[in-house]
A and B are shown apart, each in its own frame.
Chain A
Amino acid sequence: MSSSIRLGEIAHARSGDKGGHANVGVIAYNQSGYEYLRSVVTEQVIGEFFAGLQPSRVERFELPGIHALNFLLHNALQGGASLSLRTDTQGKILGLAVLEMTIPRPENLEPMQKES
């Protein structure tokens, strides 16, 4: 058994822009997944994953009622939609990207996964 999993096995996500900052929301499928996310998906982990975007700072916020963490990646969008030369000027695809992040496999994975 692999010792790591895709974040997307226990969470879904959405991202967008706040001016020149990107927001990446990560939503666990349930309470047990949320508790695990809180312990492993830190500001540092997200900062390293998105290092290529050169965020000046990463902030993490909690929305326990929907089992979600919100990450604000400061200055990660080349100055924002009106200045950026990128295709993804507004950080729309960062949510799908973060779901590909590998995280350590939790001891009890099954209850964290989406009910099918």
Chain B
Amino acid sequence: MSVKSIRIGNGAGFWGDNLDAPRQLASHGKLDYLTLEYLAELTLSILAYQRSKNPESGYVTDLVKVVKDITPQLTGDAPLKLVTNGGGMNPVGCAKAVSQVLVDSGLPHVRVAAVAGDDLLPRLEELLNAGEVFAHFDNGQPLGQLHERIVSANAYLGAEGIVDALAENAQIVLTGRITVAALVVGPAVHEFGWSWDDWSRLGAATIAGHLIECGAQVTGGMYSDWNPSIDLGTIGYPVANLREDGTSVISKPSGTGGEVSIGTVSEQLIYEIGDPEKYFTPDVVADFSNVHLTQLADEEVLVEGGTGTEAPPTLKVSMAYYDGFTTSGSIVVAGPQANEKAHAAAEAIRVRMKTAGYELEHFEYECLGTGDTLPGMDLWHQSSQEIVLRIAARDHRREAIDRLTRELTPLVTSGPPGITGYTESRARSRPVIAYWPTTIPRDMVKTSAEVRAAQEWLV
């Protein structure tokens, strides 16, 4: 008797990832589920800003193209299902846009779900009045007056909304902020019927989700054992074949480039984790510490030993607030004594800013090409005859940052010799969006899933 398993492929590790990856996986991955992860910390606050300008926007617009690309796989005997957090700040708006594509493609009956509950911004006053202080996760400070500057405030939801949507026969599930592993845990709970206190298997599925959530970082991208024979041009995106017992096999579509090996999978396992015994999600505290890997075949790695413990009583909340302005920009300094000249140019900027009346709160420069990407470390230090001088600053005064954006170009005629490369783009001022990580008791957050056929979303 064969073990029941589902094949889940992840075709995006962030908004801006390779646009062709979802189609590659849908066409060649033999998938049951396609997942797409779009919401880095900053992404959601950008979407919140967009929605504040236009209430119809605020979702990941790439999804319109992606859904159009995968329409051939959405029909047939075993149609593909898509689960993504690309709903961003507006899952309902996203559902309408995606539904328009489906109707236009002759698929009006495909059922689309919008999962809600993560957006706390409309409830912020109410929650503060009810006594929530939203203490900072690291230093315990209460949110206090800062709440007036909040751009976005989202709880990390678990897999529950996805499972509810799939139970109502949704074929496309669009969420906002969610723990990324839920994109895998949700389908697993739906397909295997795991109970919500099956900590061991929920933990194991969370680990499978973690392994594929950054796309090609598990299939040979970013691999520190890189060598030129690894074909990155046609790199395959990852597939997790998740089994009912929680173990999984990581692979990629055959014929694609990259590499799936114990080396690549172990690097992704350890990526951006803290205590491996305590990887917190809303569904489970996953335990990575005893995971072990076996190369089953070429480009297939078995993942075993993942487990977990009881889910935490609180949910993580990520708030973003405006905190001044920032800019960065660069010019090229070439020729003899490039190091000294780059430093002289940067110091000239500092003096000119001071003359203009601005001592910047934070101003830094790097001489790229001399080892400065490792600040304060001598490891890669060398002199160079070709340096990118990069300046960056942060200040609460918009006018100070605006002024700094004008200071690179004059160096062409008023700086040391050898300055070039200034035509690519001028530095721009942009707002700093800072983070306030905090928590909320889970019973204060209600997840819901609205499921309709595509044609009904357009009524």
Contact = CB atoms under 8 A, between A and B. Distances in A.
Given A19-B435, A65-B290, A97 B377 contact: yes
A64 B213 CA distance: 23
Interface stretch (B80-88, B169-177, B262-270): B262-270
B271 interface: yes
Contacts of A62: 276, 289
B366 A66 contact: no
Interface in B313-341: 320, 323, 326, 328
Interface string B94-119: 00000000000000000000000000
A27 B273 CA distance: 14
A33 interface: no
A65 B272 contact: no
Contacts of B434: 79, 82-83
A65 B293 CA distance: 8
Interface string A12-36: 1110111111010101000000000
Most buried by B among A14, A17, A53, A68: A14
Interface stretch (B53-61, B233-241, B348-356, B368-376): B368-376
Given A14-B224, A21-B274, A63 B393 contact: no
Most buried by B among A12, A51, A72, A114: A12
Interface string A57-80: 001011111111010100000011
A82 B328 CA distance: 13
A52 B374 contact: yes
A47 interface: no
A46 interface: no
B275 A61 contact: yes
B393 A93 contact: no
Nearest to B40: A81
B224 A95 contact: yes
Contact of A16 (B271, B293, B323): B271
A62 B31 CA distance: 34
Interface of B: 41-42, 138, 222-225, 262-263, 266-277, 288-293, 305, 320, 323, 326, 328, 362-364, 366, 368, 372-380, 390, 392-394, 432-435, 437
Nearest to B270: A25
Given A12-B224, A83-B394, A88-B373, A23 B272 contact: yes
A32 to B, nearest CB: 16
Contacts of B288: 63
Given A23-B271, A97-B380, 20 more contacts: A12-B263, A14-B222, A17-B272, A19-B138, A19-B437, A21-B274, A27-B266, A53-B377, A59-B275, A61-B274, A62-B276, A63-B291, A65-B289, A66-B291, A66-B292, A68-B270, A70-B273, A83-B323, A85-B326, A87-B368
Most buried by A among B225, B275, B323: B225
A82 B270 contact: no
A85 B376 contact: no
Contacts of B326: 85
